[in-house]
Amino acid sequence: APVIGVLALQGDVREHLVALAAADAVARPVRRPEELAEVDGLVVPGGESTTISKLAVLVGLMEPLRARVRDGMPVYGTCAGMIMLADKILDPRSGQETVGGIDMIVRRNAFGRQNESFEASVDVRGVPGEPVEGVFIRAPWVESVGAAVEVLAEHGGHIVAVRQGNALATSFHPELTGDHRVHALFVDMTREKRTAESL
């Protein structure tokens, strides 16, 4: 089974570890560069993106994260994690950096201005069966994407799920619902990358 880390600096780490294990990955927290080096893929959880960014710099993970994402490591960001994977934030807070990896501009707290938190059914391309129940908590949306980015889902006319190569991001939190299909999609992406490398 692929070994998938969850960036464990701040945010809902435990929920992602549970969802990944349910989707047949070996899941473990990543707090240090040595731990990042040992995983096949990585989830960047929801939480507070400025805090995650500052802690990543503090513990020396920001550059190693950028290097591995540039190198094609499968990575999945939810909510604050989506913000971390954006090449550009529309309204960054001071000192806020991103890992990048997805050619998109993200607006922080975009849905939060309308509604602190809500749930909505979302059709996600690549996730078979019924729509995913999307939990949005002060969620970002994707303002615009570059040509290499595949839009996987929209809600209310706004992009809420994207993929570019091995990088996946959702505005919402599948780790909070007990439905592990989005995590299963990511585990498959990681498994495919590993298989391709061993050929």
Residue 81 Cβ, how far from ligand GLN at the closest point, in Å? 7
Among candidate residues 79, 155, 180, 183, the one labeled active-site is: 79
How many helices (H) and strands (E) the chain has is answered by 6, 12
> Of the two residues 138 and 194, which places its CB atom closer to ligand GLN in the complex?
138
Rounded Cα gap, residues 82 and 100, in angstroms: 9
Q: Report which of 98, 102, 97, 109 is spatially closest to residue 76, judged by C-alpha positions.
A: 102
Do residues 126 and 152 lie in contact, with contact meaning Cβ atoms separated by under 8 Å? yes
> Of the two residues 46 and 134, which places its CB atom closer to ligand GLN in the complex?
46
How many Å separate Cα 197 from the centre of its chain?
23
Residue 52 Cβ, how far from ligand GLN at the closest point, in Å? 7
Do residues 23 and 180 lie in contact, with contact meaning Cβ atoms separated by under 8 Å? yes
> Of the two residues 2 and 44, which places its CB atom closer to ligand GLN in the complex?
44
Among candidate residues 155, 175, 180, 183, the one labeled active-site is: 175
Rounded Cα gap, residues 77 and 86, in angstroms: 10
Instruction: Assess whether 150 carries a catalytic annotation.
Output: no
Instruction: Tell me the three state secondary structure of residue 124.
Output: coil
Instruction: Assess whether 38 carries a catalytic annotation.
Output: no
Rounded Cα gap, residues 161 and 183, in angstroms: 13
Length of the chain: 199
Residues forming contacts to ligand GLN in the complex (CB under 6 A) are: 46-49, 79-80, 83, 108-109, 137-138
Residue 170 Cβ, how far from ligand GLN at the closest point, in Å? 11
Instruction: Assess whether 173 carries a catalytic annotation.
Output: yes
> Of the two residues 24 and 48, which places its CB atom closer to ligand GLN in the complex?
48
Residue 137 Cβ, how far from ligand GLN at the closest point, in Å? 4
Q: Which two tokens stand for residue 172?
A: 């919402």
Among candidate residues 15, 16, 155, 173, the one labeled active-site is: 173
Which residues are part of the catalytic machinery?
79, 173, 175
